[in-house]
Amino acid sequence: MTERNTLMRTAHDLGLAAWFGGSLMGAVGLNGAAKEEGVTEFGIARIASVGWAKWTPLGAAAIGSHLVGGAGLLLANSGRVNRQRCVAAATAAKTLLTGGALAATAYTRILGKKVDLASSRKEEGQETAEEIPVGVHQAQKQLAVMQWVVPALTAGLIAMNALMGEQQRPSQQSAGVLRRALTLNDRP
């Protein structure tokens, strides 16, 4: 009889969906709107920074939900990971991809915070500034790349979830366990 892990799977999947969707919507919608409405380089950075700052708490909660759900599913499926052929490899690949997505998200947040601080300083005459400080241009260039890395990595996680879901089909489980058992019997 199979166990149900509905709560863990829901936390895992909804967290990943929000992480992917939020990063993609920000890259396309929020940053696109900021470029369209910002008028100056300073204004573009300010609009995007305010929007991303509003998303950050929900994005962090989504990532936390995904990680808690993933840990719960790993614990619930630890026997299958150890017994079924190819599941351990898929789990390792997904773990590495998750680490990459977490690192990319953290780095993107650091870059975004740098741009945010540069575009929100209240120095005399800054209200009319048309450009943000020169030192921040490098962060903006990196941010322009990283805003696409996060949705790409989280899309990879969605694809890994699809693969791992296929591995849970009864026909895949029994064949994988049988192959694994035969391989272990062939060892000296």
Tens-digit pLDDT profile for the chain (188 aa)? 357 889 999 999 999 999 999 999 999 999 999 999 988 888 888 899 999 999 999 999 999 999 999 999 889 888 877 777 777 888 899 999 999 999 999 999 999 998 888 887 655 444 444 555 656 788 889 999 999 999 999 999 999 999 887 766 565 555 555 555 556 566 66
Quick one: pLDDT at residue 125?
44
Task: Look up tokens 């800054």; give the residue.
Answer: 126
Quick one: pLDDT at residue 94?
92
Quick one: pLDDT at residue 128?
46
Is the pTM for the entire model greater than 0.85? Answer: no
> Where along the chain do its domains lie?
6-121+131-183
Which amino acid is residue 156, in one-letter code? G
